[in-house]
Amino acid sequence: MELGTGDDGHDGLPRLVVAMGASAGGLAPLQEFFEATPPDTGFAYVIAQHLSPDHATVMDSLLARNTAMPVLTAEDDMVLRADHVYLLPPKAELRVGQESLEVSEQVRLPGVPPHPIDICFESVAATWGPRAAAVVLSGTGDDGTAGIQAVRSAGGFTIVQDSSARFASMPGSADRTGAVDQILAPVAMPEAIARFSADPDLARIPVANDAYGEYSRIIAALSNAYGLDFNAYKIGTVRRRIERRIEMSGSVDVAAYTRLVESDESELRTLYDDLLIGVTAFFRDPSVWEHLQATIIPTIVAEAQNEEREIRVWVAACAMGHEAYSYAMLLLEQLDAEDIDLPVRIFATDADQRSLATASAGLYGADTVAEVPTALLEKYFTSEGDDYRVNQRLRRCVTFSAHNVLRDAPFTRIDLLSCRNLLIYLRSEAQHQALRYFHFSLRVDGMMVLGLSESIDFLEEEFEEIGGSDNIFRKVRNTRFVATAPGHARRVPRPVPAANRGAVNDRLLKAYDELLDEYAPPAFLVDENRHLLHTFGAAASLLHQPTGRTRLDLLDLLDDSLRVPLWGALQRTLSTNEPVRLDGLLVTGDDPYGLTSIEVKPITRRDGSGPAALIVITPHRDDTLARTDQGAAIRPRLRGPAEANQLEEQAQLDIAVLERELQITRESLQTTIEELEASNEELIASNEELQSTNEELQSVNEELHTVNSEHEAKIAELSQLTADMDNLLASTEIGTLFLDRELNIRRYTPALADYVKLRPQDVGRPVGDIVLTLDLPSLQDDATEVIHTGASIEREARSDDAGWILVRMTPYRVAGGQIEGVVVSVIDIASLRHAQLHLDAVTRRFEAFMRHSPALKWALDADGRYVFVNDEYAARLGVDADEVIGAAPAEMLTPEIDAALHSRIGSMLDAGAERTDERFELQVPSHGGVLHLLTNVFGYDDADGPVMGGSALDITDLRSAEAGIERHRGQLRHVLDRIPARVWLIDDERRVLLVNEAALRELGRTASDVLGRTVDDVHGHEAEMLFGPVGGADRLTDGTRLTDPDLNSGAVFRVETIRLDGDNADSHETIVMATDVSDLVRVQSELALMNTELARRNAELDQFAHLASHDLRAPLRAIHAFGQMAVDQTGPSENLARVLAGVERMRRMLDSLLAYAESGRQTLAVVETDLDAVLGAAIEDLSADIAASGALIDAEELPRISCDPVQFRGLFQNLLQNAIQYAGDDPPHVEITSSIDGDTVAIEFRDHGVGFEQDQAAEVFEPFRRLAPSSSGQGIGLAICRRVVERHGGKIWARSEPGKGAQFSLRIPTTPPPGSPDA
């Protein structure tokens, strides 16, 4: 690339070099400049800025954000390219050559600030001449001023930053050279440079002046309206605030804004408020408060207690009162802690009434009181809705009042004075003023607290700094200061002693003045400033008031002839405090005095307010020189040349006088010169010192500003990052807790509040102190471990609301990698956990079902290998469930099984039946038998694609059961068909479901003709007879009935109907069996006839027996009676005895016969009867026989039944009597037992008598049948027994063996059946 042809110099040589100089406040305009600069201008940008030599710069990275151009830190020999930005490195000088940069070490001369901008600019001017532009941005000092002149003279374009520069002195200095083409805002500069590049002449347009002068009008307006003189404030501060209001009020410039504030009171008020900006907070700057609380407050309280006085605190510039209340709280806390009762007075003052009103109300928002510790908040504040109000106790401590520290009388005897961040706004003179008042206000040893950036400045001697960086001072002594800057501070209204005012009497003063006029010599009284205080006597005639401004200086009022000597005399008197006398002065003027003496006497003023001097003027009336010369001296001026002859003499005299005057003048001049020189030398010396210091400071200051700007930008970036991080943390909704190495809480995210109850106050506290609602006791141990090992730990835990959370602890690493704490993340895994548990449960359930299923289950993977078989499969097919996984079925199963099981499946697979869901029955040989498997093979997609599964149910038992059923069916059929009855099974619609051979034979049909048809259809007229009336079979009920004789054949059928439950609850099936019972019916009816006849005959026989026995008794009785009478009359005879014996036997036979007959005739009187009692009665009846035979009767307890007790008594009598009668040789022994079986009572009578042959057992119950011929019985007893038992519906029988006794058994129903044979 050719030198000098920069027009197409993109990425090559630049068309133009833009050299920029910046110092303090220069970063912002640089950023603005590059924001507005296109990246392809073809220019090279060289930036020379003041940088701290000790501080690494990050300017390049900051600027890189504002431009697409490469931003490079210049190096020596670096090639100069278009569209690049080059930065001056620290401690270096940068020179721009034609093609490259030259960077060298900075040459620093002691006491001379470096001028890197000038160096840079001058090199640009030398090499690039008219193709250069120089820009001076914000900064202090005059660096760039020389450079910009050089650029301008070489034909380059020059720009300085306009009033937007935070530091105007550098651009201002450059501007004052007159070598500046444009004064512009940074954003406008690139365009101007571009214009210059296109047309150098057009770009040079003069700029308007700035208008700093307007500010004083605004300050005056403020002063008028609010009585607060902002001239005492730093002009920079005031200007910035005013500029801010200019911008916000929409005014075009300062002048417009000045008009606005002069016409609009509200804007003025807004500006006023803005200027009195009160930034304050409770316990602002914690270290200060800690210091106060720890040492200062206790000291103050202790002193006050020793002296038993109130504690006085002055909070100047208290703004909204936060600080005043903060002090009050600390003091009250201290008093409470030590249990001291002392009054506390806190004077809280501010110049702004509105702030005081707010402070006085004592109502603060929740965000405001956040800095107040909870304990104090609860103690000293009451909640009002969302706000908090200071309580009465706190409020009473504080007195608020309007007060201007520069103007109003200070409070006195103050223990603690706080004035924080007011002084920084004040100019140094005002600062001094305020500090003097503060000093005055404090008692000795009183404490003063200033803002962290404020200093006690010139009062170093008066205060002891005890707070270190906290800026707390102790007053060491009382010193009186004199106000020396009345121009900057208004007169402080000092309290005037009442005595002074009362003692002066106006009339007396008047009298004094009269006397002085009369007798005092002409004199003037002046103060140390030569201001005329009083004129005595005729001295007034010497005064003349010049036109114009009123003068107070006596010398200005006197005639020239007196002025010079008097100045010298006064000067001497005031400096030495000794009187000075001047003689022989010739007073000239309008009212000439002639020769006079002047005596200047020092006067001490009563109020001690400084020296004064009395000037006494005495005319020389009796002096010789005066006497001789007075007239002559005066005359020429009065009379003119008429007395010219005396001129020479007069001239001599005049010369003498003049020489004298000259002598005096010389003397005083010499004095003055000496004094001036002395002070001048001092001034020069100190000026040199100051200049050197100042330049050093300026340099440092600029460097600091540069660093500061970089820091600010970095902080902004960090704030952005922090905000990003906060938003990120908030948006992830992951509760995160940051702990430091000591496990103190450093920070936490809002989402954490869902799991852990944390409050902002908890920050800084050890996590162990906080009651976490996490059920995670190992948290601290885990966190410690994380710090030590650097490895993350995860824990699952339950939180209070029964949710599951994952707590992940990871090390918190700082740059450099060391671990400075732990990051605890809390993640809600409740739903995950629940889903997992649910899935586990489902899986376990599914597997359990599968595993324990009675069916065979298996699943094959895509390669046809087992992935799952269940227990049943393993058991049935003889494989090990664990071994088969991964194997092919052919490897695990016997060939027969595999063949049987998988031939079918294989063919299906071959056929590509992926979605087969088919059921079929497989017969698999197994354990010597055959398994019948109802098999279902199906395809499904698992994670790897289509696979096969199978399920098979072993139905071998089912099949064998089916075969059994079939066999039973055949048997049943066989039985059914051979039953000699006709059998049908019909449903509720009387359709034939089943029919047997006999029925078919009768019909002459086959089963197929009949099945499914209704019986009415099949059987015609016979149907009604067999199956009941036409209609539903549901009318049929279980039972047996006889049909009416058939009309044709006369046949009678017994039809048996059995209802069976059908397939469902509502339906039934009915078995109908019809048997031809014609023969049976006929025999039965014949039998019934016979029975009736038999009964009738029986009754007749009974009647006959009764009558016979009854009627036969009377003649027998007569035979007997008269036989006896015959014996009585004729004496005993053998024949008569035989007659009577025969009669006796016959009578007994009749009795028995009668008894037997009676037992059948009498009706049964059945009542509930205790058989035990009945047996007892029977035994009682037989007591004579029992006693006679020595019989033993063992009877069990007998039950209660319903029977005729009279008949049973007879029954038992007969049985017992029978046993006694046939007891044989031994005494009779009868055992009676009984038992109840259902509704039948069994009673056994067992004896040990002679017994009988068993084949005679039935005969014993025949009437008049006696087995033992020799017995005395009539043979009727057991017959009666049978009759009684049978009439009660029971049975009686006997078992015996000869010689071994007999057993009579009765079976009697507990209740005799109705209609039991009774006839």
Partner 1 sequence: MPDLSVVVVDDDPFDCELLAAAFSQLPFPVDTTFFDDGRAAHEHLTSERRRPDVVMVDLNLPGMLGTELIAALRAEPVTASLPIVVLTSSATSWDVRSAYDVGADAYHVKPFDMADMRELLENVVRYWGRLVTARPPDAG
Q: How many helices (H) and strands (E) does the chain have?
A: 40, 46
Q: 500 or 1162, CB closer to partner 1?
A: 1162
Report the nearest approach of partner 1 to the CB of residue 1076 (Å).
49
Following DSSP, what letter does each residue of 625-665 receive, concatenated? HHHHHHHHHHHHHHHGGGGGGGHHHHHHHHHHHHHHHHHHH
Q: Are 746 and 763 in contact (CB under 8 A)?
A: yes
Q: Is residue 296 within 8 Å of 471, Cβ to Cβ?
A: no
Which residue's CB is nearer to partner 1, number 1085 or number 1124?
1124
Least CB distance from residue 1173 to partner 1, whole Å? 17
Q: What three-state secondary structure class fits 755?
A: coil
CA torsion angle 1190 1192 1197 1198 (round to 10)? -70
Binding residue for partner 1 (CB under 8 A) from 248, 1118, 1167, 1192?
A: 1118
Q: Are 462 and 468 in contact (CB under 8 A)?
A: no
Please say which residue, 987 or 1204, places its beta carbon nearer to partner 1: 1204
Give the integer Cα–Cα distance in Å for 402 and 423: 18
**CB under 8 Å to 280, separation ≥6 — which residues?**
318, 319, 320, 322, 323
Taking a C-beta distance cutoff of 8 angstroms, is the pair 207, 199 a contact?
no
Name the residue nearer to partner 1 (CB basis): 244 or 1117.
1117
Burial class (CB in 10 A: 0-12, 13-18, 19+), 364: buried
Residue 1131 C-beta: closest distance to partner 1, Å: 16
Distance of CA 707 to the CA centre of its chain: 42
Is residue 1117 close enough to count as binding partner 1 by CB under 8 A?
yes
Q: Does position 1299 bind partner 1 by CB under 8 A? A: no
Cβ proximity to partner 1: between 1042 and 1118 the closer is: 1118
The CB density around residue 1158, as the number of other CB atoms within 10 Å, is 16
Q: Which residues contact 405 (CB under 8 A, 6 or more apart)?
A: 316, 317, 349, 351, 419, 422, 434, 437, 438
Catalytic residue among 83, 118, 142, 143: 143
Residue 1113 binds partner 1, judged by CB under 8 A = yes
Interface with partner 1, residue 1167, by CB under 8 A: no
Distance, in Å, from the CA atom of 102 to the CA atom of 94, rounded to the nearest integer, reads 6
| C-beta of 879 vs 1143, nearer to partner 1 | 1143
Nearest distance, CB of residue 1176 and partner 1, angstroms: 19
Query: Does position 1177 bind partner 1 by CB under 8 A?
Result: no
H/E element, 1024: helix 1021-1027
Buried-state track 320-344, b at ≥16 Cβ within 10 A, e below 16: bbbbbbbbbbbbbbbbeeeeeeeeb
Residue pointed to by tokens 């307010």: 609
Site string for partner 1, 1182-1211 (x = CB under 8 A): ------------------------x-----
381-384/387-390 β-pairing:
antiparallel
Nearest approach in angstroms of CB 1120 to partner 1 is 6
How many CB atoms are located within 10 Å of the residue 1268 CB? 14
Which span (759-767, 909-917, 1119-1127, 1190-1198) binds partner 1, by CB under 8 A?
A: 1119-1127
Among 155, 1020, 1115, 1298, binds partner 1 (CB under 8 A): 1115
Residue 1162 touching partner 1 (CB under 8 A): yes
Q: Which of 1120, 1229, 1248, 1282 binds partner 1 (CB under 8 A)?
A: 1120
> Is 1124 an interacting residue with respect to partner 1 (CB under 8 A)?
yes
Residue of 1147, 1200, 1266, 1307 interacting with partner 1 (CB under 8 A): 1147
Closest to partner 1 by CB, 58 or 1112: 1112
Q: Choose between 458 and 1104: whose C-beta lies nearer to partner 1.
A: 1104
**Cα-based distances in Å from 272 to 147, 261, 269, 689:** 42, 10, 5, 39
**Interatomic CA distance for residues 1156 and 1104, integer angstroms:** 12
Q: What is the DSSP letter of 1?
A: -
What SS3 class is residue 1279? helix
Task: State the nearest-atom distance from the C-beta of 1152 to partner 1, in Å.
Answer: 13
Name which of residues 1091 to 1110 contact partner 1 (CB under 8 A). Answer: 1110
- Residue 1145 as a binder of partner 1 (CB under 8 A): the answer is no
**Which window, 297-305, 439-447, 528-536, 1120-1128, contacts partner 1 (CB under 8 A)?**
1120-1128
State the distance between the two ends of the chain, measured CA to CA, in whole angstroms.
161
Stretch touching partner 1 by CB under 8 A, among 468-476, 588-596, 989-997, 1118-1126: 1118-1126
470 contact partners, CB below 8 Å, separation of at least 6: 285, 287, 288, 291, 449, 452
β-pairing, 414-419 with 442-450? parallel
SS3 assignment, position 1037 = coil
The CA-atom distances, in angstroms, between 282 and each of 179, 371, 454, 592 are 53, 6, 20, 75
Catalytic residue among 50, 902, 932, 1019: 50
Q: Which stretch binds partner 1 (CB under 8 A): 218-226, 232-240, 307-315, 1116-1124?
A: 1116-1124
For residue 692, indicate whether it is catalytic. no
Distances (CA, A) of 970 to 126, 236, 835, 981: 133, 126, 59, 19
Taking CB under 8 A as the rule, does residue 732 contact partner 1?
no
Q: Which stretch binds partner 1 (CB under 8 A): 326-334, 462-470, 696-704, 1115-1123?
A: 1115-1123
**Cβ closest to partner 1, residue 623 vs residue 1102:** 1102
Instruction: Tell me whether residue 173 is one of the annotated catalytic residues.
Output: no
Q: Does 483 bind partner 1 (CB under 8 A)?
A: no
Catalytic residue among 23, 441, 668, 709: 23
CA dist 326 → 284, 285, 371 (Å): 9, 12, 10
Residue among 182, 170, 173 at smallest CA distance from 50: 170
Per CB under 8 A, 1158 contacts partner 1: yes
> How far apart are CB 1121 and partner 1 at their closest, in Å?
4
Contact with partner 1 (CB under 8 A): which of 498, 1114, 1184, 1187? 1114
> x/- string (CB under 8 A) for partner 1, residues 774-813?
----------------------------------------
- By CB under 8 A, name the one of 1125, 1137, 1236, 1258 that touches partner 1: 1125
Task: Please identify, using beta-carbon distances, which residue of 1082 and 1161 lies nearer to partner 1.
Answer: 1161
Q: Binding residues for partner 1, how many (CB under 8 A)?
A: 16
Q: How would you classify the pairing of strands 819-828 and 804-813?
A: antiparallel
Single-letter amino acid code for the residue at 977: D
Cβ proximity to partner 1: between 512 and 1122 the closer is 1122
Q: How far is the CB of 1124 from partner 1 (least distance, A)?
A: 5
At 734, the amino acid letter reads: I
For partner 1, the binding residues in 1223-1262 under the rule CB under 8 A are: none
**Binding track, positions 665-684, relative to partner 1; x by CB under 8 A:** --------------------
Token pair recorded at residue 375: 């304990």
Closest separation in Å from C-beta 1214 to partner 1: 16
Q: Does 1137 bind partner 1 (CB under 8 A)?
A: no
Active site residue 50: yes
Residues 921-940 close enough to bind partner 1 by CB under 8 A: none
Residues 329-368 that bind partner 1 (CB under 8 A): none
Nearer to partner 1, 80 or 1143 (CB): 1143
* Under 8 Å between Cβ of 709 and 723: no
Name which of 98 and 1162 has its Cβ closer to partner 1: 1162
Q: Would you tell me which residues interact with partner 1 (CB under 8 A)?
A: 1110, 1113-1118, 1120-1122, 1124-1125, 1147, 1158, 1162, 1206
Supply the residues annotated as catalytic: 23, 50, 143
